Amino acid sequence: MKQFTLLSLFTALIFTSAIIISGCTKEGPQGPAGTDGTDGTAGCVKCHDDSQNIYAASVQWEASTHATGGNFERNAASCGACHTSQGFLQRIANGTMEADGTVENPAPINCYACHQIHETYTEEDWAFTASGPVEFWIDGTVADMGKANLCAQCHQSRVPDPIPVPGGGDVEITSIRYGPHHGPQGNMLAGSGGYEVEGSLGYNSSLHTELVENGCVTCHMADAYGAQAGGHTMGMSYIYHGHAVVNDAGCVACHEGEDIDEKVEEAKADIDVLLADLKGLLIEQGVLDSSDYAITGTMTSNQAGAIFNYQFVREDRSGGTHNFKYAKALLTNSIESIN
Ligand code: HEC
Ligand code: HEC
Ligand code: HEC
Ligand code: HEC
Ligand code: HEC
Ligand code: HEC
């Protein structure tokens, strides 16, 4: 990424003053005298200062999957709404699930997607582009995850066709990609949006749902470990002496003295067994293949729901950490419902 230079600051300043001046002449009566150059840059310097905050965030972001994932080429209206910076801003402005159209010159999710950069040219511009409670697309559930409401706008289930209804009749599955799509972490953390078929476990959430005030941000954006984890890398683990280690900076406030890696591994081990059992059953019943794609055709709503839950927990990718109780109940009850 190009570095910020004084020359470009100066150029931008001339450009913004030009806009302000031309604005005045258009609006008739002359307002009070404008601010001079020194005052004009005061707002800029609040952010473009020597604390190197922007530089550090940029280095972290550059190493993140938001910058490197490459999937911003998914720029059709329905995909660009989450996969491109511009498409996301369009759909938030419109309150729709799609971008205005195919996004030209698509940009990956960057500073401008999440912060209101250069709107007022003051520090207020660190404000997020989306901040209120999220209303999830799949079921209209509303959740408030503080700063992570921003994340959950994109990290949520898409709307599958059909939406599986517990106790419904047979359904026709026409897409091998049947499921919630890749990033349903928001729904998982909120503890909703799964196929809640009746079974031996109730649908309760782990205490993370209620207690982790800023959701994703508390854990994934805790103090950075270089450019591998935390901060704007949003990564959860880093390599230390050849081993992957969980960045526990956001956990210690609650898990003081606990072995976090062990806890995460334990949760994962339990969830992996359930995922394998459910997958085995779905393959046996001819509705899923070994590469995790649905086998299209008519099936019972419990089978479709079981495929959905399988993909929901698998694509959540936290191995149970996000919401252990909910993930466990979805898998356990699904296994019972098709067994
Ligand atoms: C809210 C904090 C904030 C304020 C206030 C702010 N900027 Fe920026 N500015 C940013 C961020 C963030 C970027 C993007 C950094 C990047 O791309 O790595 C940026 C980028 C830039 C760039 C590089 C353009 C580009 O596209 O990369 C210029 C030039 C610039 N700002 C000038 C200004 C000027 C002039 C002002 C005051 C009139 C100002 N900024 C006020 C945060 C701010
Ligand atoms: C504009 C939509 C959008 C927003 C807002 C957003 N994300 Fe993402 N996120 C994505 C997409 C899309 C990807 C995958 C990028 C790719 O593959 O090109 C991703 C990837 C990630 C990954 C990396 C997963 C991996 O495999 O490495 C993490 C972690 C993540 N996001 C966390 C967050 C957090 C935390 C927030 C809120 C602070 C957030 N995201 C906000 C869309 C978004
Ligand atoms: C509601 C937001 C949203 C929409 C709409 C969306 N995606 Fe995604 N997509 C995501 C997120 C978030 C991730 C990253 C999830 C993660 O890393 O766990 C992702 C990841 C992906 C990946 C990477 C998967 C991988 O395993 O690396 C592909 C490919 C993809 N999406 C394709 C698409 C296509 C094609 C469309 C349109 C038909 C689309 N997406 C629409 C949010 C969305
Ligand atoms: C996916 C969303 C996302 C992207 C992309 C993103 N940020 Fe942020 N940023 C956040 C969130 C969320 C916080 C709040 C973190 C916290 O409170 O711990 C934040 C906080 C910050 C802060 C501290 C702001 C303050 O109030 O003091 C700075 C500085 C910052 N970001 C700079 C950047 C820059 C520079 C870029 C681009 C290189 C960028 N961010 C890209 C989500 C994002
Ligand atoms: C309680 C802490 C916590 C919260 C809250 C949390 N995560 Fe995670 N997340 C984790 C841990 C731990 C992992 C697994 C790391 C591992 O396996 O090494 C993970 C894994 C992931 C992954 C898989 C890729 C990766 O980085 O390992 C994504 C994507 C992700 N989380 C996104 C989110 C989003 C989006 C939210 C908010 C909706 C969220 N997380 C909330 C702790 C958390
Ligand atoms: C705000 C407090 C808080 C934070 C922050 C927090 N946890 Fe937890 N965590 C808890 C509590 C309380 C439990 C006990 C869960 C229960 O009984 O529902 C728990 C349980 C767990 C479990 C066991 C599975 C379960 O839910 O029973 C894992 C794994 C875990 N946490 C990992 C993490 C990781 C990793 C982080 C940081 C990335 C983290 N936690 C951050 C409070 C927190």
| Amino acid at residue number 240 | Y
Which of the four pLDDT bands, split at 50, 70 and 90, describes residue 339? very high
> What's residue 23's pLDDT?
37
> What's residue 164's pLDDT?
87
Look at ligand 6, atom 29, and give the residue with the nearest C-alpha. Answer: 264
d(CA 171, CA 166): 12
> What's residue 39's pLDDT?
54
CA of 207 to the centre of ligand 6 (A): 7
pLDDT in tens, 3-46: 444 345 444 544 444 444 333 334 444 544 444 444 568 889 99
For ligand 2, whether the C-beta of 61 sits within 6 Å is: no
Short-list 182, 54, 45, 58, CA closest to 110: 58
Short-list 279, 295, 283, 292, CA closest to 331: 279
The ligand placed nearest to the CA atom of residue 322 is 5
> What's residue 208's pLDDT?
98
CA of 181 to the centre of ligand 3 (A): 6
- Residues contacting 48, CB < 8 A, separation 6+: 4, 9, 54
> What's residue 199's pLDDT?
97
Look at ligand 6, atom 11, and give the residue with the nearest C-alpha. Answer: 207
The ligand placed nearest to the CA atom of residue 66 is 2
CA of 11 to the centre of ligand 1 (A): 12
Q: Which atom of ligand 1 lies nearest, measured to the CA of 122?
A: 5
For ligand 2, whether the C-beta of 153 sits within 6 Å is: yes
CA of 99 to the centre of ligand 3 (A): 14
pLDDT in tens, 213-258: 999 999 999 999 999 999 999 999 999 999 999 999 999 999 999 9
Query: What percentage of the chain carries pLDDT values higher than 90?
Result: 86
Average model confidence (pLDDT) across the chain: 91
pLDDT in tens, 123-155: 999 999 999 999 999 999 999 999 999 999 999
d(CA 24, CA 145): 42
CA of 277 to the centre of ligand 6 (A): 25
CA of 120 to the centre of ligand 2 (A): 26
Look at ligand 4, atom 43, and give the residue with the nearest C-alpha. Answer: 114
d(CA 126, CA 116): 6
Look at ligand 3, atom 21, and give the residue with the nearest C-alpha. Answer: 182
Query: What percentage of the chain carries pLDDT values higher than 70?
Result: 88
Scored b (16 or more CB within 10 A) or e, 13-46 reads eeeeeeeeeeeeeeeeeeeeeeeeeeeebebbee
Q: Which atom of ligand 3 lies nearest, measured to the CA of 155?
A: 12
pLDDT in tens, 60-86: 999 999 999 999 999 999 999 999 999
d(CA 57, CA 105): 24
Q: Which atom of ligand 2 lies nearest, measured to the CA of 88?
A: 1
pLDDT in tens, 166-213: 989 999 999 999 999 999 999 999 999 999 999 999 999 999 999 999
CA of 183 to the centre of ligand 3 (A): 7
